[in-house]
Homo-oligomer: A and B are copies of this chain.
Amino acid sequence: MKLIAIYKCLCDETRLRILHLLSHQALCVCHFQEILSAPQVKISKHLAYLREHALVETKREGTWIVYSLPVKASAELTANMKCLQDCCRGNAVFSADLRRMNRALANCAGPLAECCGEQPKTARGSKPKAARA
């Protein structure tokens, strides 16, 4: 039952926040660590859980690994991500996450690092210098 896998992934706060972020923007692991202020192991393990349940896809970009929702997401996942966004609108925790995300992406595009060379759907800094295959 696909639905149960989806709900299992959504029922932990860390994963819920990760999925909420991913419903807005593909991100790499270091961003999750920064946005959620969580240790690397914790983030990595929850991302593994999401991978095992096929709720996310990965793309290697040099040293970084960019996580995103599946390109061909099931109808159930799409519906639930939409529902999640609706539920999160106006919520303090999730709004703060989005703010931190935008800040992180802005910094990321700066002189220090540029991992998530995707085209973000939200505000973005400048100078996406390089995008290795």
Q: What residues on B are CB-neighbors of A75 within 8 Å?
A: 87
Q: Interface centre among A3, A10, A16, by most B CB within 10 Å? A: A3
B7 in contact with A93 (CB, 8 Å): no
- Give the number of times this chain occurs in the complex, counting copies: 2
Tell me which of B1, B4, B76, B87 contacts A79 (CB under 8 A).
B87
The digit string for A69-99, where 1 denotes a CB below 8 A from any CB of B, is: 0000001100110111011100001000000
The verdict on A11 contacting chain B, using a C-beta distance below 8 Å, is: yes
The verdict on A118 contacting chain B, using a C-beta distance below 8 Å, is: no
Tell me which of B1, B13, B83 contacts A93 (CB under 8 A).
B1
The verdict on A52 contacting chain B, using a C-beta distance below 8 Å, is: no
Which residue of chain B has its CB nearest to the CB of A5?
A: B11
The CA of A11 and the CA of B80, in the complex, are separated in Å by: 13
The digit string for A93-128, where 1 denotes a CB below 8 A from any CB of B, is: 100000000000000000000000000000000000
Chain A positions within 8 Å of B, measured between CB atoms, are 1, 3-4, 7-8, 10-13, 16, 75-76, 79-80, 82-84, 86-88, 93
